[in-house]
Amino acid sequence: MDDAGKAILNESNRIISKLQLLSVFFGDDIIYRIYLRSQVIHQLFADNPELDINKLQLFHLQYSQSLIDLLVKIKKNNEKSILILLDEIQLNKDLIAKIRESVLTFEQYRLDQQRQALKINTSLRKLFQVLSDDTSEYPFAKNINAFSERYSPDFYDEVSPDLITELEQYTPTDVYKNAYAVIQRKLMGVLCKYEFRSSFVCGLKAGDKIAEVYRLNDTDRYFIYFPAKELFLFCDITKIDQRGAPTELSKKETFIRELTDKNDQLNSSINIIKTTIPAEIKNLLADNYKKLNDINFLQNITDVDVQANILKTMLNTDMM
């Protein structure tokens, strides 16, 4: 075989290596079969010097190179789609990081419930003393309303304004009142009886109205605290649509979970998109493979106008 023939074989090896890499990348059975068939055709010319080596060159020019160009174009188009998804994933990650800076966890909420109940109990005990001694001393613990300001956006239950309005109604003659607080007389009596021991139950919100519900320990009696009015009243718990234990995820944490799940879905989509070949093109590749398996293919390789141009036509269509 002369130098020109060897050069054609070397170039054929290079083209077949490209096909092999693309068949591995896409992991598609029909591409792998075309690659194997191309190897067989190459080896046929390598083992039979008497064959016209120019037909091997023509085969690669008309079929192999057009297929490679097509697959590379599909790969690039897929990569463009993947870049869009990667941008979305990164934006989600940035948003997650930003939210995490201020997120309040359910564990924090649970712990601070106990602290808030202690503040309320201490304040009510002090209020009892102030009312009994008729002094002007401020009875409430420091930052007693910071709890609702901090946790109401994420953890308090949404209720109707009408319910809040109903729950805060009282008869003026039935309450103790001073410059700092209003509390039902009977409630104060019951609190004294149970030594001012209560536990936080839930928070309620309706617009800018906030309320905290407490249960007297070891009883089935409840009272409600309205921070904006410093008002304490008995509470009919049956009027409140209790949802059981509060959700263990704040709204921000729930949003983080949703963004994380979304990124997982996007990453799964990337793995699929990376090697996707449009169905129409897969069908044409299957037809192309059938042509390569034709025993008369090499004998008629110079007559390739229709079959070989199928791949070239695909390169200039919007099928991908």
- The β-bridge partners of 28 are none
The confidence score (pLDDT) of residue 224 equals 97
Buried b (16+ CB within 10 A) or exposed e, 112-141: bbeebbebbbebbbbbbebbeeeeeeebbb
**pLDDT score at 16:** 95
Identity of the amino acid at 244: G
Q: Is the pTM of this model over 0.75?
A: no
pLDDT, residue 309, reads: 58
pLDDT in tens, 94-133: 999 888 876 767 778 889 999 999 999 999 999 999 999 9
The DSSP output letter for 169 is -
Residues with pLDDT less than 70, the chain: 1, 102, 104, 242-250, 295-320
Contacts of 226 by beta carbon, 8 Å cutoff, 6+ apart = 168, 209, 210, 211, 233
pLDDT score at 205: 94
